[in-house]
């Protein structure tokens, strides 16, 4: 049973590995034995991650990839399979957010958020699915969010894309499952990453989000590694079509008032 989380001998392609959650997950998968192919629009950033992994004795390589370019995603995955014999794990973390009320949203902003969060995730799902259903094995992990379930003002488009990611995961699980391929999502709460830096810079906003969790704090990117490795590994061999929330209890508690006598 101790070997259930071992990723030795597996090749994992991780999109968004240049920073934040993607960087932490790439390092974590390597530490669990996987060969990690770090893909990101920022090539310098993924080269830095690769250097860190290899310095610790892990197996890693890097390449530049624009997740919105579906043809490039197809080529990248095909290259990984051709060179390493299989594409065992695919993890897709990139997302962007334009926080604006619906009435102030522009068509360009709407299209930009959908291009990364929905079109990008779909392209990754389709490209990985084509290879994995043919090889009869594999695990695909997309990143959704608590915003797939709950919202706040200014989150309309972002929340819609994260709900869409979850529904794509469920559909892909149903379609790819007969070929032995698992598809799941991670649903983070508030995590300290470059994407959330503007919130952290506002002390009141930062504290308000921390207070929404039962731990009264934000997550670190490294705290997304365990849930992701679980879904990637044989420990989750019968887990597919679902979302694993790593949100510090955000969705579990609907208030912070403690009734008298409790």
Catalytic residues: 158
- Tell me the C-alpha distance between 218 and 235, whole Å: 27
**The two three-digit tokens of residue 130, written as one number:** 């084509």
Residue 84 exposed, middle or buried by CB count within 10 Å (0-12, 13-18, 19+): middle
Q: For tokens 């290259």, name the residue.
A: 79
Strand partners, 243: 185
Residue 254 phi/psi, 5-degree rounding, is: -95, 10
- Tell me the C-alpha distance between 56 and 31, whole Å: 8
3-state secondary structure 24-65: HHHHHHHHCCCEEEEEECCHHHHHHHHHHHHHCCCEEEEEEC
- Tell me the C-alpha distance between 80 and 22, whole Å: 18
86's enclosing H/E stretch is: none
- Tell me the C-alpha distance between 165 and 92, whole Å: 11
């Amino acid at each position: 049973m101790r070997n259930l989380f071992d990723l030795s001998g597996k090749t994992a392609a991780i999109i968004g590995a240049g920073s934040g959650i993607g960087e932490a997950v790439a390092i974590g998968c390597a530490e669990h034995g996987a060969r990690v192919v770090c893909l990101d629009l920022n090539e310098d950033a993924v080269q830095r991650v690769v250097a860190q992994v290899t310095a610790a004795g892990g197996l890693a390589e890097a390449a530049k990839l624009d997740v919105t370019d579906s043809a490039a995603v197809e080529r990248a995955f095909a290259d990984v399979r051709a060179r390493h014999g299989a594409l065992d794990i695919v993890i897709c973390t990139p997302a962007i957010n334009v926080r604006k009320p619906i009435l102030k949203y522009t068509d360009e902003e709407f299209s930009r958020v959908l291009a990364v969060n929905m079109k990008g995730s779909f392209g990754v799902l389709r490209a990985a699915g084509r290879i994995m259903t043919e090889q009869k094995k594999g695990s695909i992990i997309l990143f959704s969010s608590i915003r797939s379930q709950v919202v706040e003002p200014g989150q309309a488009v972002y929340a819609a894309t994260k709900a869409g990611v979850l529904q794509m995961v469920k559909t892909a699980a149903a379609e790819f499952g007969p070929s032995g391929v698992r598809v799941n999502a991670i649903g983070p709460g508030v995590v300290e990453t470059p994407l959330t830096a503007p919130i952290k810079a506002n002390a009141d906003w930062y504290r308000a989000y921390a207070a929404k969790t039962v731990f009264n704090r934000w997550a670190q990117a490294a705290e997304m590694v365990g849930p992701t490795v679980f879904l990637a590994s044989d420990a989750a061999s019968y887990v597919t079509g679902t979302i694993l929330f790593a949100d510090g209890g955000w969705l579990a508690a609907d208030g912070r008032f403690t009734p008298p006598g409790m």
